[in-house]
Amino acid sequence: MRTNYRVNSGTRFHVFSKDQLEQLFWDTLHILEYTGLDVHHEEAREILKKAGAWVDGIRVRLPSYMVRKALSMAPRSFTLWARDGDPKKNIHIGPGRAYFGPGPTCPNFIDPYTLERRPYVKGDAELVAKVVDALPNIDFCESLGSISDVHVDLSALYEFAYMFPNTSKPIVAWSFRWDDSEAIHKIAITEAGGQEAFERRPNYVHYCEPVSPLVSTFEALDKLIFAARHRVPLVFTPCPIAGATAPCTLAGLIAQAAAESWMGLTLAQTIAPGLPFFMGGVTSILDMQTMIFSYGAPELALAECGLTELAHYAGIPLWNTGGCTDSKTLDEQAAIEGSFSVMAAALCGGDLTHDVGYTESAMTGSLFQLCMMDEAIGWSRRVTRGIEVNEETLAVEVIKSVGPNGHYLRHPHTRKFFKTEFWYPTLCDRHNYEEWSAAGSLPMRERVIAKVREILETHTPPPIKKETRDVIEKVLADAEARVKSTDTKKK
């Protein structure tokens, strides 16, 4: 009989030791307590002051107990729900789990038919949502672009309105300000069956972005306050640039990103204790030769892993980054950079990993990159699932029964495990040369393009309720009327 057997079946890796994490944690609190952040939102400053913050003008410093209290209130484990209730599409945030999805707001898009790089337009949000809905390893939806052919104030709302009917996977939504946040929320709660039903089963996450170094902007906090008051799970994610808007050294980059996130966390938990909150950071470097904020650098993947460990040490989930590239096209560079950062994100268990499908350093969204990364995520997930060791998987008796020069192909043990123990690719080709050339000698790139087009032509996402369709029409009409009257006043 086995006793005291320690089961350790997952594949894990660590960037930091326990001492390093302790040091990072307390030094982040030190930054918040002694340097503080500029908080450009009067109401936010008042709320924080009432909760114990030291406020001098717009500078807000948080005594460490406040942040630790906020961390203790935020959940480490919760569920983001598929709008149609499909359990396979729910996202269960918690230790040892990693989920993936695209990112928002690229100005350009690779047209899936002409293969041209062009401005992102209305219909693209539908295409992206559809492909997200169909790909098995893409778990949540963002748009991969910012709609250029609507009123500039309405692109976030149109984006959500076009994505929501085309995927039932949870959406991470951004907005400009309170009123489009409100319109987006109306759509989501209508489908959920009202505000209370939504609070129990939230079907979208609200995304806001403070500015580095150490600035909480009015817009970011206003949207945060909206989300907190309506109990919408929050992503609060700075984008510190190592060497430019953050220290050049990765430890400092991570600490600053955490400090910027935890200001938002403290405000959100003060308003809405227990609100699901993802701390963030797209933590990468300024390339000192090209002045590009790199989406393909190893430092991005490494710093994200470090930040993930700090987040988990502090007891909250992380908004991670991966599957993205600096390459301008679907090529070997895109595959290398995207796959390595996906693998790193999967290994560290960064909870929601976004920007899958970004190319050209976040300037251009690509369904092809997204689709190729779906395969890389599947590959990585097989690795992180690890090797299960028990009597059945060790198969000593099976080895004995097959014996020297026998074979396992017909053994019941093979039949039992070959589907779950092996991962089966859908894009990587394993046919022999004859079969591959008979099928047209297609390189990866061609196979990816064909798969994206097939999804676009054949996939039907689960429908939304009729009342939600009506609400979408209404909020869009109201929003158009609103911007029209503001524009007239401006004149």
Partner 1 sequence: MSKILEQLATAIIEGDIDNTPKLVQKALDEGLEPLSILNDGMVMGMNEVGRRFKAGEMFVPEVLMSAEAMQAGLKILRPLLVSSGAKLLGKVIMATVQGDLHDIGKNLVGMMCEGAGFEVIDLGFDVPAERIVQAVKEHKPDIVGLSALLTTTMRQMAYTIKALEEAGLRDKVKVMVGGAPVDAEFAKKIGADGYGSNAAAGAELAKKLVGAA
- Is the Cα dihedral 404, 406, 411, 416 positive or negative? positive
CA dist., res. 159 & res. 147, Å (int): 7
Kindly state the smallest distance separating residue 401's Cβ from partner 1, in Å: 16
> What residues between 130 and 149 interact with partner 1 by CB under 8 A?
none
CB nearer to partner 1: pick between 149 and 435: 435
Strand partners of residue 211: 215
CA dist., res. 220 & res. 37, Å (int): 13
Kindly state the smallest distance separating residue 414's Cβ from partner 1, in Å: 5
418 binds partner 1 (CB under 8 A): yes
407 binds partner 1 (CB under 8 A): yes
114 binds partner 1 (CB under 8 A): no
395 binds partner 1 (CB under 8 A): no
Kindly state the smallest distance separating residue 408's Cβ from partner 1, in Å: 9
CB nearer to partner 1: pick between 178 and 418: 418
CB nearer to partner 1: pick between 5 and 422: 422
Site string for partner 1, 349-388 (x = CB under 8 A): ----------------------------------------
118 binds partner 1 (CB under 8 A): no
| Residue 327, C-beta contacts closer than 8 angstroms, at least 6 positions apart | 296, 333, 334, 337, 359, 360
CA dist., res. 245 & res. 282, Å (int): 12
CB nearer to partner 1: pick between 56 and 434: 434
The pair of structure tokens assigned to 418 is 């070959």
Which of residues 414, 450, 456, 474 is near partner 1 by CB under 8 A?
Answer: 414
CA dist., res. 112 & res. 127, Å (int): 9
Q: Which residues of 383-410 are buried (b: 16+ CB within 10 A; e: fewer)?
A: ebeeeeeeeeeebeeeeeebeeeeeeee
CA dist., res. 193 & res. 139, Å (int): 23
420 binds partner 1 (CB under 8 A): no
Instruction: Kindly provide the residue ranges of all beta strands, DSSP E only, lying in 84-203, ordered along the sequence.
Output: 91-93, 99-100, 108-110, 117-119, 171-173
> What residues between 428 and 487 interact with partner 1 by CB under 8 A?
432-435
CB nearer to partner 1: pick between 118 and 415: 415
Strand partners of residue 277: 234
CB nearer to partner 1: pick between 65 and 424: 424
CB nearer to partner 1: pick between 394 and 438: 438
409 binds partner 1 (CB under 8 A): yes
405 binds partner 1 (CB under 8 A): yes
Which of residues 6, 18, 410, 466 is near partner 1 by CB under 8 A?
Answer: 410
Find the part of the chain contacting partner 1 (CB under 8 A) among 63-71, 113-121, 247-255, 401-409: 401-409
Find the part of the chain contacting partner 1 (CB under 8 A) among 102-110, 236-244, 406-414, 444-452: 406-414
Site string for partner 1, 53-92 (x = CB under 8 A): ----------------------------------------
Helices 122-134 & 155-163, crossing angle to 10 degrees? 40
Gyration radius (Cα) of the chain, Å: 24
For residue 263, give the nearest of 20, 125, 58, 412 by alpha carbon.
Answer: 58
Kindly state the smallest distance separating residue 342's Cβ from partner 1, in Å: 24
| Residue 181, C-beta contacts closer than 8 angstroms, at least 6 positions apart | 175, 206, 223, 226, 227
Q: HSE of 388 in the Cβ direction (CA atoms, 13 Å)?
A: 11
Sites of contact with partner 1 (CB under 8 A): 405, 407, 409-410, 414-415, 418-419, 432-435
